[in-house]
Structure formats: C-alpha cells, structure tokens
Structure 1
C-alpha cells in the first residue's frame, strides 16, 4: 500500500540529514528548496537570485533569505556560537504567546546549517499545525474587469 504524502515526515527526515552532514552540500540545499520552500516553488521571480546564491555557495545568505521569503512573519531571534556549536533561533515577530513553543531552534557546528535547520524546524511546526503566524492572507479579487491586490474592501 502506498503511503500518503506527509510533508511533516519529509521535513523531519530533512532535519536528520542536516544534523548528520558537516557542511552544506548542493544536494542537501536542493532538497531544502524542494521540500521546505512551497512559496519559492510557486513563483518564478526570485529563482535567479537563489541560483546565484547557490553558485556562490553563500549558504548563510541563502538561509537568511529563505527565512525572509518563506516565513515573512518570522525573524531571526538569535544566532550565537558556544563551544564551537552554532545555535540559530527564529520566532514569529511580535507574537510570543508561549515563548517555548513559538521558537524554532537548531544547533550545528556550521552556521549555515544551523540557520537552515532552524528554518526547516519552523516549517515542520507549520506542517504540524503548530506554527503561529501573524500574516494576513491576501488574495486577488476580480471585480467588473478590474484586478486588485489585497484584502477585499467594501466601498
């Protein structure tokens, strides 16, 4: 019997892979882009920038950019190094109702992998329905031939 598509399981598997490698690899980053970046996959705009960051092996910059693009309401709370291990914590901006549960944190010897791990950890939380958000959903509404961007507003 075929297993159902389970994004949370795929993301947890990706986290395990991030934990086991010593430095970022193109194949691993490609899997992060494939499994943890639904917004990036749905648009053509920033793909050229992402390709340039990958070609330059600018893994830290790519991690920060992915957090900003995929999780626009999240921000890096802390990036620190203690005893040769980097720790990255990201959380929803302005929404810390339960501090422990509203933070995605990951540790690794490599700073880029700590950032990517925290990003994937936040995506796991969202896939499981535990990721808080303060982003208002905007949708395109067509009225009498006119196209507007943003929430519906009664006039």
Structure 2
C-alpha cells in the first residue's frame, strides 16, 4: 500500500508558469518535485542524470522535452509554433491523426520551455482527472459467483 504524498495541485503550478517571464532552476526543480513521479522513482538512472545535466547547463527546452518523454511516454509533441510573440506547443496521444480529429493539449507562453511545461502540466491535470493508468490494463478476474448460462431453446 502506498502512502499519499502531499503535492502541489497542478493548477497552482500552471498559474506560476503563466506568471513568470522565463524559466529558472528553482522553478524547474519545483515542477520535477511536485509534478513528476517517474524522475524520483527512477533514482539516478541515465535518463534522470541527463535531465539534471540539461538543467545544470540551463537547456530549458531540452530539459522540458526530456521530461515529457520520461513522464508521459504515451504522449508526443504534435506541434511547436511561434506566433505573435508566443510559443504554442501541443501534445497528443495520436500524432498521426488530422488536426480536426485529434484531442491535443496545448500550452502557450512567450518562453519555449514554459510553453512546453504548460502543456505538460495540462496533460498531467487531464490524466489525473481521468483516473486511469497511462498503460493498457488487463481485465479483472471474473467474479467467482458469476456463472454463464445458455438460454437457447433448441427443442
């Protein structure tokens, strides 16, 4: 049984991202601490070491992309566009679908890394609301009291 870990609610992190003009190391570490489950569970793996190196050299967009890849393996970057002073980043589970069929989640900000992380947090909020695993699950075992009956009358 796992204990409930107190976390910041993703909307408050989203509000903080919208309010800051540029990415900072403390903000990135706060996002990792409160919104990323796999980084802490993997310990010092190659992927987490790479993310920490990217943070150390302030490669914010690369660190954000690495976080998306690690934390949301079933989601992919669908679109990154710069328009009218803002970056628009869309994440999708079905990147090959046409735009009008896809249910992409979008984030936007004047800073590319913050736009990517805004979309990341939107997906986190969406996935948390759905309450289902990010990987397919197997059907539960049938109820032992359940018995199939054949009701056909071939008489």
TM-score range relative to shorter protein: 0.7 to 0.9
- Counting only pairs closer than 5 Å after superposition, residues 18-97 of structure 1 correspond to structure 2 as 18-44=17-43, 45=45, 46-93=47-94
Alignment correspondent of 1:144: none
Alignment correspondent of 1:103: 104
Let me know the Cα RMSD of the aligned residues.
Answer: 2.9
* 1:31, distance to aligned residue in structure 2 (A): 1.2
Q: Is the 8 A contact 2:80 2:89 kept in 1?
A: yes
Q: Is the 8 A contact 1:79 1:87 kept in 2?
A: yes
Question: Do the aligned partners of residues 6 and 55 (structure 1) sit closer, same or farther apart at CA in structure 2, a change above 3 Å counting?
Answer: closer
Structure 2: gaps of 5 or more residues: 139-155
Aligned residues: 132
Q: Is the 8 A contact 2:76 2:95 kept in 1?
A: no
Q: Deviations over 1:63-101 (max 9, x none)?
A: 1111111111100011001101110010113696xx688
Length-normalised TM-score, structure 2: 0.74
Point out the structure with the larger strand share. 1
Question: Do the aligned partners of residues 105 and 6 (structure 1) sit closer, same or farther apart at CA in structure 2, a change above 3 Å counting?
Answer: farther
* 1:102, distance to aligned residue in structure 2 (A): 3.1
The structure with the larger Rg is: 2
Q: Is the 8 A contact 1:125 1:131 kept in 2?
A: no
**Aligned partners of 1:94 and 1:130: how far apart in 2?**
22
* 1:136, distance to aligned residue in structure 2 (A): 3.5
**Aligned partners of 2:101 and 2:15: how far apart in 1?**
21
Question: Do the aligned partners of residues 85 and 26 (structure 1) sit closer, same or farther apart at CA in structure 2, a change above 3 Å counting?
Answer: same
